[in-house]
Amino acid sequence: MAGKRKKSDGEEGGGGEDEPVIKKEKTKKEILPSMIKNKDKRSEIHAKLQHQKKLDKRKRAKARDAAIKRALELGEEPPAPKIPRTIENTREFDETVCMPDDEELFAGNDADEFSSIMNRERTPKILITTCRFNSTRGPAFISELLSVIPNAHYYKRGTYDLKKIVEYANNKEFTSIIVVHTNRREPDALLVMTLPNGPTAHFKLSNLVLRKDIKNHGNPTSHEPELILHGFTTRLGHRVGRLFQSLFPQDPDFHGRRVVTFHNQRDFIFFRHHRYVFETKETKQTDSKGTKTKDAKDKVSQEKIKARLQECGPKFTLKLISLQNGTFDTKGGEYEWVHKPEMDTSRRRFFL
């Protein structure tokens, strides 16, 4: 933008439209409305520019539609729709993204703290507790968590120190501890610790919606749920994904048709819990609203398998604040990943 700050002597004040127009043809971006000091004139020129842009856009959209229509009439392929630019599309290149042929990754997986649960040597057994303060929605949230995660047990916090709780849990052979932290009487953060000395992840919890507040919610059964982890691409994300995987049993019961999803997008992890059912739908050619009429094949009706979902259980959003290498230890802790403001160099950089 610095290059566009060129001197514009003639455009100030009530100069005629000729000069700016001529100059615009010569060099494209020489005049900016912000260079004009007169507010009336400036706003006038800005409005003109915006109007011009809108007209251009409409023209382009019309041309595109005309091209598609023409191609369909002629029976050709219509021009491919343009891909909109999204932040996920333009994500900054991250060299820590896991590649499928990375043997060190697999070796690291075999050696990490979750491997014993993944190998089914230990079955997950979760201890859920809270922080020391009361909260309004906390107990309801915890009871829903108990129904979502199989083999989870709730213990009241009392005034125990977290380190003592870790020791107690180790003695009783728990595999993970979840601490629901409360702020201003609302569950606010989630601390997930893998035992015996596994990593501790500290998440910020937001947008919690309980089951009773979801319209048309379903009631979950007690089958082992299926787990979907989506969008964990980098090494850090992979580790967090394995952390979630270690909370759930490794043999899902597909007959139960119950699925728990952790979907990571832009470093926010969305938790959803659904019951699903597969249905085959016969879609006739004339009914298809969404499909293009170019599918003018010989079939009269097509069978499509669709999955219908019914949401049950809580839904909330998590964001990783820090990942510590041992069990929870604020004073002596070594952090594997901690968010620092100097890391936010661009809007297109994500860590998970």
Partner 1 sequence: MPRTTTLECPGCPPLRALTFDVLGLIKVIEARSKEGGAAKVVERWGEPDSSKCVLAASMVDRKKDPLLAVARKNGTIDFLNPLNGHLRFAISNVSDTANRPEDDPISGLHLFASKKLDSEYGCCTLLACTMKGKAIMRSYDNTLSPDLISSGSTRTWDVCSSGNILCSKVDGSENYVLFGGKGVEMNVWDLSECAKIWTAKSPPKNSLGIFTPTWFTSATFLSKDDHRKFVAGTNSHQVRLYDISAQRRPVMSFDFKETPIKAVAEDLDGHTIYVGNGSGDLSAFDMRTGKLLGSFLGKCSGSIKSIARLPEHPVVASCGLDSYLRLWDVKTRQLLSAVFLKQHLVRVVFDSNFTSEDAVGSTRDPSVEEAETVNEYENGDEQDTQPVKRKKSSKEKKANKKSKKKSNSNETSADDEGTKKIKKFKSKKRLKREIPDDSS
Q: Which is nearer to partner 1, 101 or 298 (CB)?
A: 101
13-21 own/partner pairs: CB under 8 Å, 24+ apart: 13/38, 13/41, 14/38, 14/41, 20/45
Contact status: 186 vs partner 1 (CB under 8 A): no
Q: Which is nearer to partner 1, 137 or 319 (CB)?
A: 319
Least Cβ distance, residue 346 to partner 1 (angstroms): 4
SS3 string of 174-220? CCEEEEEEEECCEEEEEEEEECCCCCEEEEEEEEEECHHHCCCCECC
Pairing of strands 258-265, 152-154: unpaired
126 phi/psi in degrees, rounded to 5: -110, 140
Q: Which is nearer to partner 1, 152 or 269 (CB)?
A: 269
Secondary structure class of 259 (helix, strand, coil): strand
Other beta carbons less than 10 A from residue 54's beta carbon? 10
End-to-end Cα distance, the chain: 32
Contact status: 325 vs partner 1 (CB under 8 A): yes
Q: Which is nearer to partner 1, 152 or 236 (CB)?
A: 236
Contact status: 28 vs partner 1 (CB under 8 A): no
Least Cβ distance, residue 144 to partner 1 (angstroms): 33
Least Cβ distance, residue 74 to partner 1 (angstroms): 37
Specify the residue for token string 């850090």. 236
Contact status: 331 vs partner 1 (CB under 8 A): yes
Specify the residue for token string 């501790």. 200
Contact status: 161 vs partner 1 (CB under 8 A): no
User: Do 29 and 16 form a contact (C-beta atoms < 8 A)?
Assistant: no
Q: Which is nearer to partner 1, 110 or 279 (CB)?
A: 110
Contact status: 68 vs partner 1 (CB under 8 A): no
Alpha-carbon distance 343 to 31, whole Å? Answer: 36
Among 187, 337, 350, 352, binds partner 1 (CB under 8 A): 337
30 phi/psi in degrees, rounded to 5: -80, -30
Alpha-carbon distance 78 to 98, whole Å? Answer: 37
Peptide bond into 196 cis (omega under 30): yes
* Contact string (CB under 8 A) for partner 1, positions 96-135, x = contact: x-----xxxx-xx-xx------------------------
Contact status: 2 vs partner 1 (CB under 8 A): no
Contact status: 255 vs partner 1 (CB under 8 A): no
Q: Which is nearer to partner 1, 93 or 278 (CB)?
A: 93
Other beta carbons less than 10 A from residue 3's beta carbon? 6
Least Cβ distance, residue 225 to partner 1 (angstroms): 30
Q: Which is nearer to partner 1, 40 or 334 (CB)?
A: 334
Q: Which is nearer to partner 1, 265 or 283 (CB)?
A: 265
Among 95, 161, 251, 303, binds partner 1 (CB under 8 A): 95
Pairing of strands 200-209, 315-324: antiparallel
Contact status: 334 vs partner 1 (CB under 8 A): yes
Contact status: 235 vs partner 1 (CB under 8 A): yes
Contact status: 53 vs partner 1 (CB under 8 A): no
**HSE (side-chain half, CA atoms, 13 Å) at 235:** 13
Contact status: 90 vs partner 1 (CB under 8 A): yes
Binding-site ranges for partner 1 (CB under 8 A): 90, 92, 95-96, 102-105, 107-108, 110-111, 235, 325, 331-340, 342-343, 345-349, 351
